Amino acid sequence: MKRSRFVLTGAAVVLASVALVSAAQDQGVPVPQVPGGVPQVPGGQPALLPPGLAGGSELLAPKGVEKLMLTKEQKADYDKLNQAYNTKYKELTTSNKPILSDPDPTKSNETPDARFKAFKEAIEASNKLRPDYLAKFEKLLTDDQKKTLDEVRRELPVGNFAPNLGGPPNFYFGQRSGQFLPADLQRQLKLSEEQVKKIDELQKDLESKMLNLLTDDQKKAFETLRKQGGPGVSLPPNPFGVPPQPPKLLEPGKLPNPGDLKKVPDPAELKKVPEPELKKGTN
């Protein structure tokens, strides 16, 4: 049971990364390059998910709205649409998806398959939600504003993170697609050959289950991610309490890089401190 939940949780996050790239390619959006240590929401889930789940509950980025130079009437109409989108987004990701918002999946009565199905449905619905509301908003714009909107809609809005999906260990984007225990972390853990072999089997099992859920276009996106080396799925730094490596000391007889040393200011460049004014009659 634990192994099944582990694999399905990993597959869910991989599917999210594939959906992000697939949606980005459809809209001409540059795929974000996520560095290590990406922020996470409570429960250890990644902050970066497809538009609608990752973009938060804002229809457009605030800077994008400014670029459109909306009239007072247009801004009022946009605020109404944005509020409606916000409400729909929250209903989609939280109120009507108790499986997704369950903070402790180990105590949930729902099976891993049911949780994964809910996650997949939320992604599919969210990918459709934002374009639908943008189409309604576009009808309110002038021809020049519509041209600007084509640029603005490429900017993923920053808002609420994805709902807490729960599950073991803390997955986040990075490393190779589908990889939940990168080679460098395996070395730090000093795994035995048998352990490495079993991890490789889990890795293949994860990819096999995930590929069966993807469309042909998503499979192409996954292969693109695999070749690029990210974004993928991996464990965060120090997930099992592995003590951090001590800082490297200089080798005997080796001088430090001069650029790393603090520059000692020239005495002539130091600001002169004025002499204190003494009151008359004092020595």
* The pLDDT value given to residue 196: 80
- pLDDT in the model for residue 79: 92
Angle in degrees, CA 173, 91, 119, rounded to 5: 35
pLDDT of residue 229: 52
> Does residue 155 form part of some domain?
yes
Indicate whether 54 belongs to any domain: yes
Q: Is 22 exposed, middle or buried (0-12, 13-18, 19+ CB in 10 A)?
A: buried
* Secondary structure element (H or E) that encloses residue 45, with its range: strand 45-46
Predicted pLDDT of residue 76: 92
Confidence of residue 25 (pLDDT cuts 50, 70, 90): very low
Structural domain includes residue 278 = no
Please, which pLDDT band fits residue 237 given cuts at 50, 70 and 90?
A: very low
Query: Tell me: the pLDDT tens digits for 48-71?
Result: 343 334 445 678 888 888 899 999
> Confidence band (pLDDT; 50, 70, 90) for 230?
very low
Residue 283 domain flag: no
Residue 222 CA, chain-centre distance (Å), reads: 17
The residue-averaged pLDDT of 23-50 equals 39
The answer to the question of residue 243 being in a domain is: no
Give yes or no for residue 19 having a pLDDT over 80.
no
How far apart, in whole angstroms, are the C-alpha atoms of residue 45 and residue 178?
A: 15
Q: What is the pLDDT of residue 190?
A: 79
The answer to the question of residue 265 being in a domain is: no
Domain span holding position 113? 2-228
In a domain, 281, yes or no: no
Looking at residue 80, its amino acid is K
pLDDT over 70 (residue 275): no
Q: What are phi and psi of 115, to 5 degrees?
A: -65, -40
Model confidence pLDDT, tens digit, residues 76-88? 999 999 988 888 8
Q: pLDDT tens digits, residue range 126-176?
A: 777 888 888 899 999 999 999 898 888 776 554 333 333 333 333 333 344
Do residues 160 and 57 make contact, with C-beta atoms less than 8 angstroms apart?
A: yes
- Of the chain, the percentage scoring pLDDT greater than 70 comes to 37
**Average pLDDT of every residue of the chain:** 62
> Do 270 and 50 meet the contact criterion of CB atoms below 8 Å apart?
no
Q: 133 lies in a domain? A: yes
Q: How many angstroms separate the most distant Cα atoms in the chain? A: 95
First to last CA, the chain: 88
Quick one: which of 9, 37, 162, 2 has its CA closest to 90? 162
Domain count, the chain: 1
